[in-house]
């Protein structure tokens, strides 16, 4: 499964600092995700697909001290930052990191939950259904899935209004503001944005229960589902 090449060394070093201005959004997403997962066993093993710099691991590890984490990501540069943060937090004994894709995880271990946060919009629409089938294969019976992605119905009547608000968010704490046309171009060329209903259909096709659309901040959506 392919990705793009933006998650290089320089981008990875800047990723957390550049996203700090959006922390009210990520804090809320992580808070609600922790609530969604609160009935998992005290010794749950969580797979984080596209773990990046590990923000979701650090957030959940704090709330659930008995949980273990496996993080997989094709960017060795993002994983290097993640590894450093995990060591600083003193939780390296609870975490395994693997450079690669879901299909590169050796062995047949099944997980209590899979998190896939802000990853799927980088996967081409034609390939995107596959990741939900791969995730389902890695989950225990009744295992849980949390997905967050940038999603939008680009044919909606009010799409330009939605994109103006998205532009304002991108401009917040930054010296430059994208135009609506630039965002449309980015969504066509780099981020493969699709309507939320299309994502829910992919989850159902892979055998997940009716997805619970538990979070939305502008174009950032998140769902919880059960295998």
Ligand X SMILES: C[S@@+](CC[C@H](N)C(=O)[O-])C[C@H]1O[C@@H](n2cnc3c(N)ncnc32)[C@H](O)[C@@H]1O
Binding residues (CB under 6 A) for ligand X: these are: 1, 3, 7, 49-52, 55-56, 73-75, 78, 101, 117-119, 122-123
* Smallest distance from ligand X to CB 17, Å: 13
* Smallest distance from ligand X to CB 158, Å: 26
Q: Which is nearer to ligand X, 3 or 209 (CB)?
A: 3
* Smallest distance from ligand X to CB 96, Å: 15
Burial bucket for residue 159 (CB in 10 Å: 0-12, 13-18, 19+): middle
Element (H, E) at 10: helix 9-19
Instruction: Report the residue number whose CB is nearest to ligand X.
Output: 52
Which whole-number Å values give the CA distances from 200 to 101, 102, 112, 205, 206, in the listed order? 22, 20, 21, 9, 10
Q: What is the largest CA-CA distance in the chain?
A: 50
* Smallest distance from ligand X to CB 155, Å: 25
Establish how many alpha carbons lie within 13 A of residue 134's alpha carbon, considering only the half-sphere containing its beta carbon: 17
Q: Which is nearer to ligand X, 122 or 223 (CB)?
A: 122
Q: Which is nearer to ligand X, 56 or 112 (CB)?
A: 56
Q: Which residues pair with 222 in a beta bridge?
A: 148, 215
Q: Which is nearer to ligand X, 8 or 156 (CB)?
A: 8
């Amino acid at each position: 499964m392919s990705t793009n090449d933006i998650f290089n060394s320089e981008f990875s070093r800047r990723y957390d600092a550049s996203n700090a201005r959006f922390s009210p959004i990520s804090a809320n997403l992580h808070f609600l995700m922790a609530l969604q997962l609160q009935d998992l066993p005290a010794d749950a093993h969580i797979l984080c697909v596209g773990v990046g710099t590990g923000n979701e691991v650090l957030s959940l590890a704090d709330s659930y001290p008995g949980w273990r984490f496996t993080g997989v990501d094709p960017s060795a540069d993002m994983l290097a930052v993640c590894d450093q943060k995990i060591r600083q937090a003193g939780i390296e004994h609870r975490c395994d990191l693997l450079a690669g894709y879901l299909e590169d995880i050796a062995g047949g271990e099944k997980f209590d939950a899979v998190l896939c946060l802000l990853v799927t919009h980088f996967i081409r629409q034609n390939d995107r259904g596959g990741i939900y089938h791969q995730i389902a294969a890695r989950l225990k019976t009744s295992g849980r899935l949390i997905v967050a992605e940038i999603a939008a119905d680009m044919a909606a009547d009010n799409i330009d209004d939605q994109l103006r608000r998205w532009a304002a968010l991108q401009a917040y704490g930054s010296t430059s503001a994208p135009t609506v046309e630039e965002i449309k171009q980015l969504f066509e060329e780099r981020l493969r944005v699709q309507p939320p209903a299309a994502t829910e259909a992919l989850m159902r096709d892979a055998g997940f229960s009716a997805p619970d659309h538990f979070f939305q901040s502008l174009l950032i959506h998140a769902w919880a589902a059960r295998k």
